[in-house]
Copies of this chain bind each other. A is one copy, B any other.
Amino acid sequence: MKIGIVGGGAVGLLLAAYLGRHHEVTMYTRRLAQAKQLAEQGVALEKDGETTTVAVRARPFADAELDEPLVFVAVKQYDLDAIWARADAFRRVRTLVFVQNGMGHLDSLPLLVGQTILAGVVEHGAWKRDDRTVVHTGVGKLTLAVRFGSIGDARELQSDDPHFPIEWVDDWKRMLVDKLVVNAVINPLTALLQVNNGALLEVAPYREMMAQLFDEVRQALALADEQRAWERIVHICRKTADNYSSMYMDLAHGRRTEIDAILGYVLQQGEARGVALPLIRFLFCAIKGKEGREEDG
């Protein structure tokens, strides 16, 4: 199958590196230089010290008309506006897969009648070494669910690669909420305290902060199964103990964070439910403030 991937960040490169083995992948990047490099040299995947290369086609998104039946949109949520400014470019695409963190971006999509929308959750550890190289540090999975429409071509998205499993689930909402809850608790805390994920379990007062924050998140989102949600968070902290969260890394590198898509969304939901969320509001300000400082510096 022909697959398009919009976005040349760590997630876009990771998808291209694995999907490109069995599919004909075209990457759509923001910068011409990156597209050129990818088209000429392919995507490089570093895993356990070995590097493999996969050939892809690539071009800048800015002037492309996408003609793949299935396209992954792998930009950050705050870059979606730039994508929608060219919504017409997706006219010929039958299935779009959104892999952003957060949930709000899937509520109102400027798309065509008949298009299938999938939601995806990427739970791999990966970072971008350079414009064509992604380092795959932690094997997780890609989870997919239908958000709007019927599955169609996307049925072909399967993988028996143990380094890149693909899992289909029925309940898109539960899938996204699960990820949101984990992100809403682990990301801002590790970014604020400047610690790795494991420290939230190991340092007793940090674990208490995590419980306090979780208590607000579960109220804001009216979580059905609190116990299960809490255990998921603890499980992920333990499994990724040595990792630094994406929000930690974003701040460390002076990049914009996904705080709006994550805590901003939770805050909105809580406000709509009339729940008081002092800690979430406080943390939201802390990360916003740090973002501003990094941009200054």
Chain A contacts to B: CB under 8 angstroms: 192-193, 195, 199, 203-206, 208-209, 212-213, 278-279, 281-282, 284-286, 288-290, 292-293
14 sampled A-B residue pairs with Cβ under 8 A: A193-B286, A193-B290, A199-B293, A203-B289, A203-B292, A205-B285, A206-B285, A209-B286, A212-B278, A212-B285, A278-B278, A279-B279, A279-B282, A282-B282
Q: Which of A209, A212, A289 has the most CB of B within 10 A?
A: A289
- B212 adjacent to A282 (CB under 8 Å): yes
Name the 6 nearest CB pairs between A and B, nearest first. A205-B289, A205-B285, A205-B288, A206-B289, A203-B289, A278-B278
- A209 adjacent to B278 (CB under 8 Å): no
- A282 contacts which chain B residues (CB < 8 A)? 209, 212-213, 279, 282
- A289 contacts which chain B residues (CB < 8 A)? 193, 203-206, 209
Given contacts A278-B278, A279-B279, contact A285 B209 (CB under 8 A): yes
- A213 contacts which chain B residues (CB < 8 A)? 282
- A209 contacts which chain B residues (CB < 8 A)? 282, 285-286, 289
- A192 contacts which chain B residues (CB < 8 A)? 192, 286
- A292 adjacent to B205 (CB under 8 Å): yes
Nearest-neighbor residue (CB-CB) of A283 within chain B: B282
- A286 contacts which chain B residues (CB < 8 A)? 192-193, 205-206, 209
- A203-B293, A204-B292, A279-B282 known; 18 other A-B pairs, CB under 8 Å? A192-B192, A192-B286, A193-B289, A193-B290, A203-B289, A205-B286, A205-B288, A206-B286, A206-B289, A209-B282, A209-B289, A212-B281, A212-B282, A212-B285, A213-B282, A278-B279, A279-B279, A282-B282
Distance in angstroms from A194 CB to nearest chain B CB is: 8
Q: How far is the CA of A282 from the CA of B204 in the complex (A)?
A: 12
